[in-house]
Amino acid sequence: MTIEVKQLDRVVIRFAGDSGDGMQLTGDRFTAETASFGNDLSTLPNFPAEIRAPAGTLPGVSSFQLHFADHDILTPGDAPDVLIAMNPAALKANLRDVPRGATLIVDTADFTARNLKRIGYEQNPLETGELDAYHVIGLNLTGMTVESVKEFGLSRKDASRAKNMYALGLVSWLFQRPVESTITFLETKFASKPDIRDANIAAFRAGYNFGETAEEFSVRYEVKPAKMATGTYRNISGNLALAYGLVAGAQRAGLPLVLGAYPITPASDVLHELSKLKRFNVTTIQAEDEIAGVGAALGASFGGALGVTTSSGPGISLKSETIGLGVMLELPLVVCDIQRAGPSTGMPTKTEQADLLQVMFGRNGEAPLPVLAAQSPADCFAIAVEAARIAITYRTPVIVLSDGYLANGSEPWQIPVVDDLPTIDPNFTLEPNATDDKGAPLYLPYLRDPETLSRAWAIPGTAGLDHRIGGLEKEDKTGNISYDPANHDLMIRTRQAKVDGIARSIDPIEVDDPDGTAKVLVLGWGSTYGPIGAGVRRVRKVGGKVAQAHLRHLNPFPPNLGDLLRSYDKVLVPEMNLGQLAMLLRAKFLVDVVSYAQVRGMPLGAAELAEVIGNLVEETEGIDDDARHLGEAAANLTHGEALNGNEHDLHQSRLGGAR
């Protein structure tokens, strides 16, 4: 049989199964194979909060989506071209996302009347014809897996657990992925359990070979490596990039890093990663609660380390009082909020960006602090380095916003040269910095640098500079307790001016407006960067003129932001909240921005954004409702139509490190 090889410019593939089926691992491995092949890629893991929801049920379905291409891409894709469903529940839970014409590879082993009924199928959907619009490949993957590993003498249950590797092997064949790294991975992962190791490798190989020999497949696909800027790349997830960025920031400042953290989804992986890095003078304290986590970090900062705490929205609520103390003490502190869907416990494993106003204002009194947001998984590295720079230079708590989508998603990252990262000077005070009225040397802990307004920082152990600080309002310069009304007003305004002044140290926001004639600007922040960029490309592809800019500094804003907003007729602000950035922009700049708000626990889709953007572009150009077509045309673009072309490369995070 000859097998045709079909060239594709991009593919979106989704692996779906029970929480216990190993879909995240399967997705990770396929990602690693794809990265090493040289495709550009973007991933979206999606899993339930329950560790093992009941098997075979809809709430228990876990999935991993990967978008890979021969060109620069920005999102994990709106809709899968290929769905691998390991049971009926996985098929049912994911089918609504799969466009007609897509390929469904289904493990038929669990399609029994009982299992089908449990999830509301009266009849077997593989037999009723309801999937006729799809290219369905039904295979007994479980059965074939068990058969392929029988020589290892495992129980049927243990044997069938290798079915994810069988499926991975099959898909690796289908898309011509290099398989060596997965074999090596399995050899390492299961080194201490030879039976399991050999069974997984055998299942993986069997799946690959099945593709080669079976007649179900007449076509293989090829997605050529992407043309990317020259350099050395790796794949990296947001949480790993954040952990490495924090270490890099501390190292560039020459300070030990002390993390105080309490486990919370989706932030725990930062704790896990940093816990492995003790050789970098990284201390991790798994605290008794969120408050103790940030407390330990602040205590370490008082001692001259870089104190860091990592959490998600509910934990940030608990840390608020201590963060306020950090504002008052004017000590460095990096607080990472890996946002998840709220309010309250919300949807722990789903993404959202609804903590912006909490971190901006969620403290008693006037307690301003800098807020940064990463725009892509790899950008978490640069943002963490930037947070360390600001925290140490300005002696202030800094909030870093990431979210579940960035935390678990991954993308290729052009590896930075660490020696090119900025150096950060803690500028500890070692000598008295003033004299008293008799001319005797004196240390004033709240004497400020005239440029940055940051205070003098002497750490315990420095002879002659002992002093006491606390949460009570302090007198200007001396730091002594003060209830003086004029002093309080001065200190409130000084702390605000210090944070506002950070804007002088950050770059103006760059706008992507190819010929400078767009009337509509799309402005976003955080993880919407990818979907917005993809939506903007779609609109341009069908002839619309639209500009894009993305905020990484949310407090203070870049110095030119107001002028930029006022230079466009309309500003669209898409967010995964009810318009929090839009509220800030209106309040600060009196610009009536257009908010586009979706809060579904999922990233915004490129096609939906394209439609919204296209409609706004035409509205702004005075085109009547019924004559508009851009939005629909942009939304309906397929595959390569939407993505090819020579648009301006939007991947700032891949090109530059932290400034």
Partner 1 sequence: MSTVDLGLPSLPGGLHGVPAASEPQNRKEYVSDQEVRWCPGCGDYAVLAAFQGFLPELGIKRENIAMVSGIGCSSRFPYYLSTYGMHSIHGRAPAIATGLAVARPDLSVWVVTGDGDALSIGGNHLIHSLRRNVNLKILLFNNRIYGLTKGQYSPTSEPGKVTKSTPMGSVDNPFNPVSLALGAEATFVARTIDSDRKHLTSVLRAAAEHRGTAIVEIYQNCPIFNDNAFEAFKDPETRDDAIIPLVHGEPIRFGKEGRLGVVRDGFASLAVKEVADLPNGEADLVVHDAHADDPAYAFALSRLTDAGILHQAPIGIFRAVERPAYDDMVRQQITTAQEAQGTGDLQALVTGSDTWTIN
Give, as ranges, the residues between 378 and 397 that touch partner 1 (CB under 8 A): 381
Return the residues of window 509-568 that contact partner 1 according to CB under 8 A: none
Q: Are 50 and 60 contacting, i.e. CB atoms less than 8 angstroms apart?
A: yes
Beta-carbon neighbour count of residue 123 at 10 Å? 11
Least separation in angstroms between CB 316 and partner 1 = 16
Q: Of residues 181, 433, 494, 636, which one binds partner 1 by CB under 8 A?
A: 181
Query: Measuring CA to CA, how many Å separate 330 from each of 392, 445, 447, 492?
Result: 10, 10, 12, 12
3-class state of residue 69 by DSSP: strand
Q: Are 521 and 596 contacting, i.e. CB atoms less than 8 angstroms apart?
A: no
Q: Examine residue 234 and tell whether it contacts partner 1 (CB under 8 A).
A: yes
Q: Examine residue 304 and tell whether it contacts partner 1 (CB under 8 A).
A: yes
Q: Of residues 305, 380, 406, 453, which one binds partner 1 by CB under 8 A?
A: 305
Q: Examine residue 176 and tell whether it contacts partner 1 (CB under 8 A).
A: no
Which residue, 31 or 115, is less far from partner 1 as judged by CB? 31
Q: Phi first, then psi: what are they for 652, rounded to 5°?
A: -60, -40
Stretch binding partner 1 (CB under 8 A), from 17-25, 242-250, 391-399, 506-514: 242-250
Taking the alpha carbons of 331, 336, 341, 345 in that order, is the dihedral positive or negative? negative
Query: What x-and-dash track marks residues 115-154 binding partner 1 by CB under 8 A?
Result: ----------------------------------------
Q: Examine residue 487 and tell whether it contacts partner 1 (CB under 8 A).
A: no
Q: Examine residue 232 and tell whether it contacts partner 1 (CB under 8 A).
A: yes
User: What span, in angstroms and rounded, lies between the C-alpha atoms of 198 and 162?
Assistant: 10
Which residue, 125 or 307, is less far from partner 1 as judged by CB? 307
Q: Of residues 467, 628, 629, 639, which one binds partner 1 by CB under 8 A?
A: 467
User: What span, in angstroms and rounded, lies between the C-alpha atoms of 584 and 344?
Assistant: 23
Q: Examine residue 113 and tell whether it contacts partner 1 (CB under 8 A).
A: no
Which residue, 29 or 163, is less far from partner 1 as judged by CB? 29
Residue linked to tokens 């296209």: 614
* Residue 266, preceding peptide bond in cis (omega within 30° of 0): yes
User: What span, in angstroms and rounded, lies between the C-alpha atoms of 315 and 297?
Assistant: 14
Which residue, 21 or 33, is less far from partner 1 as judged by CB? 33
Q: Examine residue 466 and tell whether it contacts partner 1 (CB under 8 A).
A: yes
Which residue, 233 or 394, is less far from partner 1 as judged by CB? 233
Q: Of residues 54, 343, 441, 470, which one binds partner 1 by CB under 8 A?
A: 470
Return the residues of window 561-620 that contact partner 1 according to CB under 8 A: none
DSSP letters of 375-443?
SSTTHHHHHHHHHHHHHHHHT-EEEEEEEHHHHH-EEEEE---GGGSPP-------S--EE-TTS-EE-
**189: β partners:** none
Q: Examine residue 302 and tell whether it contacts partner 1 (CB under 8 A).
A: yes
Q: Examine residue 462 and tell whether it contacts partner 1 (CB under 8 A).
A: yes
Q: Examine residue 224 and tell whether it contacts partner 1 (CB under 8 A).
A: no
Nearest Cα neighbor of 617 from 636, 630, 608 is: 630
Count of residues engaged in binding partner 1, rule: CB under 8 A: 72
508-509-510-515 Cα dihedral, nearest 10 degrees: -100
Return the residues of window 28-47 that contact partner 1 according to CB under 8 A: 32, 35-36, 38
**527: β partners:** none
Q: Of residues 3, 113, 219, 418, which one binds partner 1 by CB under 8 A?
A: 418
Which structure tokens are listed for 471? 């949460």
